[in-house]
Amino acid sequence: MVTIKDIAKALNLSPSTVSRALRGSYEINPQTKQLVLDYAAKMHYYPNPIALSLKGSKSKAIGVIVPEIAHSYFSQVINGIEEVAYKRGYHVVIFQSLESYEREVISIENMMARRVDGVLISISSYTIDFAHLQKLRDNQFPVVLFDRITDEIDTFKVVADNFAGAFAATEHLISTGRRRIAHITSLPWLSITQERLEGYKSALAKYDIAFDESLVKYCSFDAGEITMAIKSLLALTDSPDAFLSMADRLTLSCLTNLKEMGINIPTDISLVGFSNLTVAHLLDPPFSTVVQPAFETGQTAAQLLLDWIEKKDKNVDFNTKKLPMKLLIRKSSQL
Amino acid sequence: MVTIKDIAKALNLSPSTVSRALRGSYEINPQTKQLVLDYAAKMHYYPNPIALSLKGSKSKAIGVIVPEIAHSYFSQVINGIEEVAYKRGYHVVIFQSLESYEREVISIENMMARRVDGVLISISSYTIDFAHLQKLRDNQFPVVLFDRITDEIDTFKVVADNFAGAFAATEHLISTGRRRIAHITSLPWLSITQERLEGYKSALAKYDIAFDESLVKYCSFDAGEITMAIKSLLALTDSPDAFLSMADRLTLSCLTNLKEMGINIPTDISLVGFSNLTVAHLLDPPFSTVVQPAFETGQTAAQLLLDWIEKKDKNVDFNTKKLPMKLLIRKSSQL
DNA sequence: TTGTAAGCGTTATCAT
DNA sequence: ATGATAACGCTTACAA
């Protein structure tokens, strides 16, 4: 590994001159500059980013925390983040919280110890205390929230238009004549859960359909829970004629369960689910999905974060970006 | 951020004493040591990894290059890598080659500039020159290859037992009475392509079925190409009664195309595909898959790399780890 | 047992 | 236009 010192020695110059030539900063003798540049190129000189970090107290790395990497939605988000970061000379350090609050806190500490320049995070399902994030913000540290956000932290946020997505899906089901639409969703305290529920309610209201609490099921990550939820829905006297599931794992679980029970989709029950699976059209039946703008979410969040990091004045005007959802109607909800 | 100097000043000690107390190295006065430890804990001292890196010329970071992050197989591999790296105090810097040789080379340079301690790589489909990897090895730099490997680089490698996987899938199809088994595969120069083809051939041989070159189709990443390949296979006088596809994208493409053509699966044509999709059982029809040990591949590769990095003596005995595949028989190949 | 000083690679400041 | 020096945070001979 060639260093500035090596070059200086070889060219009989001082390290500072070489440094300046390399970054063209001060008015250097053009010849000296050319000499240095040529020699550096010949020797494959690369500045040592670690020394740079130590000097400038910025690491040119950003941290990302997602609940799980191997999940179509999040891997697509990471893809978007990586694309932007890569172009702007940052690298991406990934951690997964595995939906655990403790792991999320540890990951944050880890990242700070690693001196990342900023953090992108989609908060875990079991995070209800945000002190670890607030502490970062208190220290003026750049944090951008995406997907699963919270009101408790004042910062940039990037989300999908969950309200609109749920509204559109519900309206679509209503337009096919469905009136008893079950709403299978995630944990009640999550922002996405609440926004989606509002979209659902709002669509019902638009068509004068009474909201029925018993059609809403909140499911944790226990696989048995969703099976129970579905069974109890089907046992209702006025049982549902449609299922709207609000997360990938729920969507797949609904499909698996209903098929196992021998229920005909969409004749008996229509199905629409939030999902970023790329194979929805190949499922049996081809599955109607509300698709989240995963890649764009990653890009947008990364852009906001990097702009913020690189901004000189620390006066930032926070806002929340809402990206459009896409409703793809397929056979599982077509009557 | 508290530094060793801060602690030294506060405690009226020298930085070196604090440093030694912190890592318990030299025989320090137990009381001094306790004092330092307590104060450090109270002040939330974390060693600055950047300073450590600059000093020790190791970054505690490993680089990973995959063709694409948002791909079920690779995201599962990354998951395995991350798990091991995280536990051992390393962080993972991810790059994607997007199947481009140029991007792969640039990613390697980028990683070296970042001073990662080692590299894990699954080579891109269009990499046929390995000089960029050989150069690393020439400098004694730790590189572990996984999934898509090459004979040209002598190092640790982790692969799935592609031969066995293809053999088992072919044998299964034969056992259901199929004799004209089409082999839809990736680019011919890839290690995985060759191994899988050998497994296929070998199974045919075992049952005295002549190998027919015209049943083998190599497909690039052009989506139209696979459609063409399928059409030409179906146009054969003695057209295939089974399709064996050797990569996720091919598998899905086969399914989409055959369904569009109105071909009945498995009655007309049986289908088995290499795939790490977690929803294969929900496809129409439920899809028989050869599943790669993605997570284990990531774990194993990371373990080998970190052991190597941390090894004192540089005499390493390279070997190639072969992990078992799993054949999951579902309706698409059951007669 | 503890302190001093040099060095990892780079750049900013202050000479010259 | 160029050079010397100090500093970023930490470790480690070497000295005391």
Q: Mention every residue, 6+ apart, whose C-beta is less than 8 A from residue B289.
A: B251, B272, B273, B274, B275, B277, B280, B327, B328, B330
Q: Residue A312 pLDDT more than 80?
A: no
- Does residue A223 belong to the interface with chain B, where contact is any CB pair within 8 Å? no
The dihedral built from the CA positions of residue B279, B281, B283 and B289, taken in this order, carries a sign that is positive
Determine whether the interchain pair B279/A284 forms a contact, defined as Cβ–Cβ distance below 8 Å.
Answer: no
CA quadruple A312, A314, A316, A320: dihedral sign? positive
CA angle A46, A52, A56 (to 5 degrees): 155
Residue B314 pLDDT > 80:
no
* pLDDT given at position A114: 83
Please tell me whether any atom of strand D lies within 7 Å of the Cβ of B267. Answer: no
pLDDT band at A220 (very low <50, low <70, confident <90, very high): very high
Residue B101, phi then psi, degrees to nearest 5: -60, -45
d(CA B11, CA B8): 5
How many Cα atoms sit within 13 Å of A158 on the Cβ side?
Answer: 24
In angstroms, the first-to-last Cα distance of chain A is 67
CA atoms within 13 A on the CB side of A30: 0
Per-residue pLDDT at B23: 87
Listed in sequence order, the residues at least 6 apart from A141 whose beta carbon sits closer than 8 Å to its beta carbon are: A118, A119
- Yes or no, beta carbons of B82 and A95 under 8 Å apart: yes
Enumerate the H helices of chain B as residue ranges.
Answer: 4-11, 15-23, 30-42, 49-56, 72-87, 101-113, 131-138, 162-175, 191-206, 223-234, 248-260, 294-310
What pLDDT is stored for residue B28 in this prediction?
85
Contact A250, B248 (CB under 8 A): no
Mean pLDDT, rounded, for A254-266: 94
CA distance linking residue A302 with residue A304, whole number of Å:
5
Instruction: Compute the nearest-CA separation of B73 from chain A (Å).
Output: 9
- Place B252 in a pLDDT band, splitting at 50, 70 and 90: very high
> How far, in Å, CA of B133 to CA of B153, rounded?
7
- B146-199: per-residue pLDDT in tens? 999 999 999 999 999 999 999 999 999 999 999 999 999 999 999 999 999 999
Taking alpha carbons only, the member of A300, A329, A311, A307 closest to residue A81 is A300
Angle made by CA atoms B44, B46, B48, in degrees to the nearest 5: 150
Burial class (CB in 10 A: 0-12, 13-18, 19+), A249: middle
Using one digit for the tens of pLDDT, what is the confidence trace for B240-249? 999 999 999 9
Query: Shortest Cα distance from A1 to chain B (angstroms)?
Result: 9
SS3 B275: coil
Give A143's DSSP letter: E
- Amino acid A253: pLDDT: 93
Whether B96 sits inside 8 A of A78 (CB atoms) is no
Report all structural domains of chain B as residue ranges with CATH numbers, in order of start.
Answer: 4-47 (1.10.260), 58-158+294-322 (3.40.50.2300), 162-293+327-333 (3.40.50.2300)
Residue with tokens 């941390």: B310
Residue type, A274: F
Partner A, chain B 178-197, Cβ-Cβ below 8 Å? none
Long-range contacts (CB closer than 8 Å, 24 or more residues apart) made by A262-269: A263/A234, A265/A332, A266/A331, A266/A332, A266/A333, A266/A334, A266/A335, A267/A335, A268/A241, A269/A240, A269/A241, A269/A242, A269/A243
Nearest nucleotide, C1' to the C-alpha of A26? D1
Mean pLDDT of A199-218: 98
- 10 Å Cβ neighbour count for A224? 9
pLDDT at position A243: 97
Mean residue pLDDT of chain B comes to 94
Kind of pairing between the strands at A216-218 and A270-274: unpaired
Provide the token pair at B88.
Answer: 């051992």
Q: What is the DSSP letter of B283?
A: B
Mean pLDDT, range A283-304, rounded to an integer: 96
Indicate yes or no: CB of A93 within 8 angstroms of CB of B93.
yes
Whether B156 contacts B144, CB under 8 Å: yes
CA dihedral B59, B61, B67, B71 (to 10 degrees): -160
Q: Is pLDDT of A27 > 80? A: no
Among residues A154, A176, A166, which one has the least CA distance to residue A197? A166
pLDDT band at A57 (very low <50, low <70, confident <90, very high): confident
| Burial category of B35 from C-beta neighbours within 10 Å (exposed 0-12, middle 13-18, buried 19 and up) | middle
Q: If pLDDT is split at 50, 70 and 90, which confidence band does B141 have?
A: very high
Which chain B residues have a beta carbon less than 8 Å from that of A278? Answer: 252
Between the CA of residue B305 and those of A114, B63, B93, B120, what are the distances in Å? 21, 10, 14, 8
User: How, if at all, do strands A270-274 and A288-291 pair?
Assistant: parallel
Nearest to B115 among A48, A92, A278 (CB): A48
What is the strand order of the sheet A216-218 is part of? A216-218, A181-185, A242-245, A270-274, A288-291, A326-328
- By C-alpha to C1' distance, C8 is nearest to B55
Model pLDDT, residue A26 = 67
CA angle B209, B211, B214 (to 5 degrees): 130
Residue to mutate among A94, A103, A109, A245, with most B CBs inside 10 A, is A94
Rounded Cα–Cα distance for residues A76 and A80 (Å): 6
Answer for the pair B78, A70: CB distance below 8 angstroms, yes or no: yes
Strand C contact with A57 (CB < 7 A) = no
> What are the structure tokens assigned to A130, written together?
């945000």
How far is it, in rounded angstroms, from Cα B105 to Cα B94?
A: 14
Protein-to-nucleotide distance from the CA of B300 to the C1' of D11, whole angstroms:
33
Question: What is the Cα–Cα distance from A120 to A109, expressed in whole angstroms?
Answer: 14
Q: Which residues of A touch B76 (CB under 8 A)?
A: 70
The pLDDT score that the predictor gives to residue A150 is 95
- Average pLDDT for A112-124: 92
Q: What is the DSSP letter of A88?
A: T
Find out whether A170 and A181 touch, Cβ atoms under 8 Å.
Answer: yes
User: pLDDT grade, residue A134 (50/70/90)?
Assistant: very high
To 5 degrees, how large is the angle CA A189–CA A191–CA A194?
A: 75
Whether the CB of B29 is below 8 Å from some CB of chain A: the reply is no
Per-residue pLDDT band for A89 (boundaries 50, 70, 90) equals: confident
Tokens of A8: 């200086």
Place of tokens 């792969």: B104
- CB nearest A93 (choices: B91, B112, B255): B91
Cα separation values, B132 from B108, B141, B152, Å: 8, 12, 12
What sign has the CA pseudo-torsion B220, A75, A78, B190?
negative
The answer to whether B70 contacts A93, with C-beta atoms less than 8 Å apart, is: no
- Locate B50 and state its tokens: 């950047």
| Average pLDDT value over all residues in chain A | 94
**pLDDT above 80 (res A297):** yes
